[in-house]
Structure 1
Amino acid sequence: MSLSLLFSRRIICGWIKTYSTASSEIVKETIDDFSSLSPLLDPRPTHPHTVTPTTPHTSEEHIVSLADQCFMKVAIIGTPNAGKSTLVNELIGRKVFAVSPKRHTTLHRAMGVITHGNTQVALLDTPGLIPYHEGRKLKVSKQFLTDPARSTMEADIIVVMVDAANKHTRERLDRNIVRILQANRHIPSMLVLNKVDLVSHKHVLLSVTEGLTGTMERQDKLNQVSALTRKLRNKNLTDKVRTKFESIIQKLNLELGLLDTTAKPRTEDDPTFNASTGFQGDGCVDRLSTTVRSDLCHSWPHFEETFMMSSLTGDGVESLKVYLLGHAPKGEWQYLSHEMTDTPTLDLVENIVREKLFKYLEKEIPYVITQSNILWEHTDEGTLTIYQNINCKTEKQASIVIGPAGRTIQAITREASDDIRQLLNCTVDLTLYVRSNKK
C-alpha cells in the first residue's frame, strides 16, 4: 500500500509500517519523543498573542479620548451546550473560540472583546455549570468549576443563557445559576433564550420565559398563600392543622422573597400584624424584603431583559449587541481597539484542534486524550509552522484517532489548519502526531 496518501498535506499520523499480507494490514506505531527539537520549542509564549482583525485599523479607533471611553464586562453563564461560545463568536463577528455539539468544550474562562465607536465590551465566556459531584466524576479542574462564579463577581452585567430547544432543562433554571444570581443580586442580569430556531411552536417560548422568570410559578404560589390564608380564618381548624398551614405559608413566602427573615418578630401590639399569618396586611405580601431562597427556587424574577435568538444563525444577536454597547458605563478601555481576546494564540490553536477532535471522535476518547505543543515557528516566508502531539492512553485509541488509512487525522488536521489560517491571517503548516502512552 502506498504511503503517499498518509503523508499528503504534510500530515504525519505517526510512523506507519506496512506488512505485505493478504489484507494489506496497516500496523500503526507511535513515534518517539522529539528531544532533538527542544531548541525550537515554544510551548507557551511569554506574552499573550492577540488576534488581529482582517480589516485595517482606522485613525478613528485611536483618537477616542479617555473621557469619552465606555467600558463594561459581561459574564455569560449557563449549563453545558447552551451556546455560550457560539454567542461570543457571533458578537465579536469572528470565530475566535472553539465550539462543539459535545459538552465541556470550553475548559476555562475565555475573554472576547467588542470595540465599537467609543465603547468596549469584554465578554467572559465561561465553562458550563455542572454540580460538584459531576465535576469530580469527570475529573475536571477546580478552575472549571469555579470560573463561572468568579467571572460574575467582576461583571457589570450577567447574561444567563438557556437552551430553549432542550425540553428537559428549559423549564427551570439550574440551581447553581440561581445561587450565583442570588449572590450577585446587585448586578443586573438578563435572560437569553438560545436556539429558538429549533423550537417548532413559538408559543412555547412564552411559556418557557414565564417559567424561568418565575411569572407562572410566582403566581401559583401567591394563589396558594391566599387560599391557605382564607382557610386559616376557619375557627374550627385544629391547632395541628393550623400550625401546618402556617408552616406552608411561611415556606411559600420565603420562596417568593416576601418574608424578611432579618426583621424583628412582630407582636400583636403592632398594627400591621396579622394574627393568622404573622405577616403584614392580608398575609400575601411583605414589602420589607425581596430576598429569594436560591436553594428552594428554580426561577429568577429579577431579569431586567429577555432576549430570544439563535447564536448559530445570528438571528436576534444584533439586538443583544446593541443593548450591551448602549448600556456600557463610562470607563477606560482595558484592551487595544483591534484586540479580540486576551487568550494566547497557542491556546486558541490548541482549542481549535480540540474542537476538531470532538467533531470526529466519539464517546470518551476526545475527553481523555491530551495535546502537547512540539514546535511553534514563524518562517521567513511568513508561514506559521506548528507541530503538536495528540497523546492517547492506549494503542486502540491512537488507532481510532488516526482512522482507516489515516483519513480521520487528515480531516482533523485539514479543518484545523483552515480555521487557524482564517483566525491568524497567515499561512499555516500544521502537523499532528498521534502517540500512545502504552506500547
Structure 2
Amino acid sequence: MSPACFYGDSSALDSILGISRKKTEGALGQHPPSVSYVKAEQDDLLGLQPDEPANPKVLRVAIIGAPNAGKSTLSNTLLGRKVFPVSSKVHTTRCKAYGVITEDDTQLIILDTPGLTSPTKAKRHNLDRSLIQDPWDSMKHADLVLVLVDVSERWAHTCLSSQVLQCLSRFPQIPSILVMNKVDLLKKKALLLDLVTELTEGVVNGKKLHVKSLSRTHLDPARNNPLPSIPACTPENAPKDGGCLQEGSEVQRGPGSDTSCDAKASDSGHVLGGTEKAQTATPQVSRDGKIKKGWPHFREIFMLAALNGEAVETLKRYLLMQAKPGRWEYHSKVLTSQSPQEICENIIRGKLLEYLPQEVPYMVLQETELWEEGPSGELTILQNLLVPKETHVKMLIGVGGQLVSRVAREAGEELMNVFLCDIHLKLCVKLKK
C-alpha cells in the first residue's frame, strides 16, 4: 500500500515538512540476544534451522559510505550491542560482517561493510583486498542500500564519494535510501536543506524538490547568519503546531501533490515543499567518466546521530516496514555472523585505532594466546599485541602502562556487554621478530 504522503511514513522530509506521525513503542528498547563466547556454541547457533513463523518477512540491508561515516556505529545502535569495531580513524572495519535483527515475524540482516575506497588508496595504505571488494559483494545480495553520509565532514558532505556513486550506478535496480549522520555536530542546521538538494540532485522518490533560500529578513542580526532552524528531530519530538523548521520560510506545492499532506505542511511555514513528477532516467555519466555529485534515485531521507541513538529508532521502524515475504536466514537468537574471537579482536583493534597515533595501530598484529572459561563462568582472554618497532612498544604500553591498561579495561567492558559474562582481558605488548 502506498503511503499517504509521497515522502513515506517516517522519513526526515516528513519531519521537516511538519507531517506528524503517531508515537509508537520504541523498537530499540527491546533486549537483543547476546553472543556466546564459546565458538562451538556460536557455530551451532549459526547452523540451526531458522525458527521462523508461518509468514516470515526478511530484508537484507547493505550499509555503504565513505570511510569513517559511522556505518559500524549505526549498525551497533540498530542491533543494540556493540559487535562491530568503532574508532575515529578510517578503515576500522576490515571486512564485511552480518548483524541480525529479529522482531516478531521480520528479520533484518544488516551488512556492515568497510568504507568504500579506491584501489589506489588501498595500495598506498597497504590495505587488504577485502576493503575494496566487500562493499561491492554486499550490494549483490542486498534488498535495500543504505547510503550513510557524515554531514559534519565539511570537505565531504556536499557530495557523495565517487566510489559510492559508482556502486549505486552499478546496481540502480536496488532501492536506496540516504541517511545523513552526525547531524548533532552540524553547527548550522539550516544547511541541511542545501545538503539534501546537493546529495539528491533535488529529486527524492521520483519527485522534484523545491527549496527556497531563507529570506534576509530572518537572519540573526547578531551573527548575520540564518537561524539554526532544523533540529535533528523525529516524528516523536516534532512540535505539534509545525515541524522542525521555525522561521523564515514557506512551503509550495507543485501540481499533482498529495493533498492529504497539504494542510499540515502549509500550516508549518517551511522551506522545503513543492513537488512535481520527475523524469525517471538512468544515472548520467559525463564524458570523462565521472558521475554527478548526487544520486536522484533515493526513496527516502533520514537525519540522525548514530552515536547517541538520536532518530535511529525511526530508521529501524522504516526498515522493518520494508521487509518482504521471504525465508529467514538465521535463528532468532543469532545477533551476528562473527565468531566470538573475531568480535574480541575487532573491539580491541578499534581501541588501538582510537588511542594510537597515525599509522601505528594499523601495524599491530593481534595474537590470541588464551581463551579460557573460569569456574564461575568468567572468561579469561590473553592477547599478544605484536609491533615491529621498539618505539611502538613503548608507545603502546604508555607511561606507567596506562595506555595498554585503558585499552584492556574499555575493551573488556564492551565484551561484557556482548557476551553477558565477566571478562578478564589481559594484553601483552611484544616486539615482533
TM-score, normalised via structure 1 length: 0.69
Q: Does the CA-based 8 Å contact 2:100-2:110 persist in structure 1?
A: yes
Aligned with residue 214 of structure 1, among 196, 201, 207: 201
More helix by share: 1
1:404 alignment counterpart: 399
1:6-405 → structure 2 map (5 Å cutoff): 45=39, 48=42, 64-65=52-53, 67-215=54-202, 289-293=281-285, 295-405=290-400
Q: RMSD of the alignment, in Å?
A: 2.5
Shift of 1:118: 0.5
1:425 aligns with 2:420: yes
Query: For the residues of structure 2 that align with 1:44 and 1:312, how far apart are their CA atoms?
Result: 29
Q: CA offsets per residue over residues 373-415 of structure 1, 9 Å max, x none?
A: 1111112321212111100001110111111121111111111
Shift of 1:147: 0.6
Shift of 1:287: 6.8
Q: List alignment gaps of at least 5 residues for structure 1.
A: 1-42, 53-61, 220-285
Shift of 1:89: 0.8
Give the share of equivalent positions with the same residue, in percent: 38
Q: Does the CA-based 8 Å contact 2:85-2:346 persist in structure 1?
A: yes
Shift of 1:355: 1.5
SS, match of residue 186 in structure 1: coil
Shift of 1:207: 0.4
SS, match of residue 190 in structure 1: strand
Relative distance call for 1:45 and 1:423 in structure 2 (3 A) is closer
Query: For the residues of structure 1 that align with 2:52 and 2:424, how far apart are their CA atoms?
Result: 38
SS, match of residue 88 in structure 1: helix
1:416 aligns with 2:402: no
User: What amino acid sits opposite 2:381 in the alignment?
Assistant: I
Q: Which has the larger radius of gyration?
A: 1
Q: Does the CA-based 8 Å contact 2:81-2:417 persist in structure 1?
A: no
SS, match of residue 337 in structure 1: coil
Q: CA offsets per residue over residues 313-346 of structure 1, 9 Å max, x none?
A: 1111111101100010001111111211010010
User: What amino acid sits opposite 1:80 in the alignment?
Assistant: P
Query: For the residues of structure 1 that align with 2:279 and 2:192, how far apart are their CA atoms?
Result: 31
SS, match of residue 68 in structure 1: coil
Shift of 1:95: 1.6
2:245 alignment counterpart: none
Query: For the residues of structure 2 that align with 1:290 and 1:414, how far apart are their CA atoms?
Result: 51
SS, match of residue 304 in structure 1: strand
- Count of aligned positions: 319
Shift of 1:74: 0.2
Q: Does the CA-based 8 Å contact 1:172-1:298 persist in structure 2?
A: yes
Query: For the residues of structure 2 that align with 1:144 and 1:48, how far apart are their CA atoms?
Result: 25
Q: CA offsets per residue over residues 204-235 of structure 1, 9 Å max, x none?
A: 0110110011129x99xxxxxxxxxxxxxxxx
Q: CA offsets per residue over residues 43-99 of structure 1, 9 Å max, x none?
A: 9946745999xxxxxxxxx9752x411011000000011010110111112222111
Q: Does the CA-based 8 Å contact 1:72-1:121 persist in structure 2?
A: yes
Q: List alignment gaps of at least 5 residues for structure 2.
A: 1-36, 209-277
Q: Does the CA-based 8 Å contact 2:52-2:331 persist in structure 1?
A: no
User: What amino acid sits opposite 2:409 in the alignment?
Assistant: R
Q: CA offsets per residue over residues 132-188 of structure 1, 9 Å max, x none?
A: 100001111111111111101100000000001111001111111111111111100
Q: Does the CA-based 8 Å contact 1:51-1:424 persist in structure 2?
A: no
Following TM superposition, the consecutive aligned residue runs of length 4 or more in structure 1 with deviations greater than 4 angstroms are: 43-52, 286-289
SS, match of residue 336 in structure 2: coil
Query: For the residues of structure 2 that align with 1:288 and 1:72, how far apart are their CA atoms?
Result: 25
Relative distance call for 1:366 and 1:291 in structure 2 (3 A) is closer
TM-score, normalised via structure 2 length: 0.70
Query: For the residues of structure 1 that align with 2:385 and 2:100, how far apart are their CA atoms?
Result: 30
Q: Does the CA-based 8 Å contact 2:93-2:115 persist in structure 1?
A: yes
Q: CA offsets per residue over residues 358-378 of structure 1, 9 Å max, x none?
A: 222112111111101111111
SS, match of residue 68 in structure 2: coil
1:224 alignment counterpart: none
